[in-house]
Structure 1
Amino acid sequence: MQLYKQLLAGALVAALVGFSARASAGDSGYYPDDGYDYAAVTEVTPIYTDVQVRTPRTQCWDEQVAYQQPVSPAGTVIGGLIGAAIGNNLGKRGHRGRHHYRHYRHQRGASTVAGAAVGALVGNQISRASAPTRYVTEQRCQVVDEFVTHRELVGYDVRYRYNGREYLTRTDQHPGDRIRVRVDVSPAF
């Protein structure tokens, strides 16, 4: 009977030690040998950030463009000939009377050249003004930057309860309904 009492007392002590360890342990009821346990997750809040992405895009539109037909050289030549004739004629009229032939010829030549130059300029301007204008629709394009904002998930704020206390941490992945926690037990002195 003595042996029976000793076995019963040993079993009772072992049960009390086991109950005491379970009462002081975390929510799962025990401390694993590797120093980790699981805590109940009470709230999970996703954390986002806005990321702006630049995308180059080609933007095109139709534009009406005016083209003037090339100027005919005929107007310039004809204007020059008419101007030379007028200049030559004016040079003759300006020298009535007796002057040296050389002096007369020089002024007459200068009047002819000046008349030709003025006539060519006038003829060219008349040709330009009367040249037909052609309108053409052309496509114009330019590269523009388009900015688009995307929301990106960066993590989760996780509230959890362990051993009657509430904690907050941030994780990269959704933890589910429980989260693994490190348990550090040290003796109190």
Structure 2
Amino acid sequence: MDKSMIKGIAVGGLAMVVLGASGVTGYRALTQPKFADVVAVKEINETVVTPRERCETVAVQRTAPVKDQNRIAGTVVGGLAGGLLGSAVGNGTGKTVATLAGAAAGGYAGNQVQKNMQQKDVVTTSEQRCKTVNEKSQKLVGYNVTYRLDGKDGTVRTSFKPGATLPVKDGEVVTTPPAPAAKS
């Protein structure tokens, strides 16, 4: 055998090994599943708390402002009425004492009557009162997807709701969202 023939056999053998290996790899790639069957899909929700200000208008009652702080009007009117009543009692010096006593008692009574009236005199106004309330809502954050690949079940989390199958690449389930369909 000459050298060129040995070289040819060696190169041919090497080419056969390379071609055989690529054939096995190609066969594996052809026989691997392209999709995994989706068995179950469960939504994953998260509770979101959002603070919000709630305001309402309420009626508020307050004591009306007093114009006569010392209740002079009630004292004077009560004193005059008491003096008139006292003067109707008795004669002479007794009449004078009765008039003075009636004026004093009437003045005190008039003062107290005006005090009670001022305390019951109220003004109603409207005020806006606000408070912060927390509103709760549910936000969809993803899906737990149970799939079957080569007779085995597995679970992955996706950000999209899958269809009946998930794509498989290199024996692994692809969890990236599919590209949006092109518009025609």
The question of 1:43 aligning with 2:43 is answered: no
| Alignment gaps of 5+ in structure 2 | 1-23, 160-165, 173-184
Match in the other structure for 1:94: 89
Matches of 1:173 and 1:53, distance apart in 2: 20
Q: Does the CA-based 8 Å contact 2:44-2:144 persist in structure 1?
A: no
Identity %: 20
SS at match of 2:71: helix
Gaps of 5+ in 1: 1-21, 30-37, 181-189
Cα distance 1:155–1:120, how it changes in 2: closer, same or farther (>3 A)? same
Hey, what does 1:186 align to over in structure 2? Answer: none
Structure-2 residue corresponding to 1:112: 103
Say if 1:142 and 1:40 are closer, same or farther in 2 by CA, change over 3 A: same
1:80/1:115 contact within 8 Å kept: yes
Give the aligned partner of residue 84 of structure 1.
79
* Separation (CA, whole Å) in 2 of partners of 1:88 and 1:63: 48
State the Cα distance separating 1:62 from its structure 2 match.
Answer: 5.3
Correspondence 1:54-73 to 2 at 5 A: 54-61=49-56, 70-73=65-68
Cα RMSD after superposing both structures: 4.5
Residue of structure 2 in register with 1:17 after alignment: none
Partner of 1:141: 130
Cα offset, 1:77, TM superposition: 0.9
Shift of 1:139: 3.6
Match of 2:132, SS state, is strand
The answer to which structure, 1 or 2, has the higher relative contact order (CA under 8 A, 6+ apart) is 1
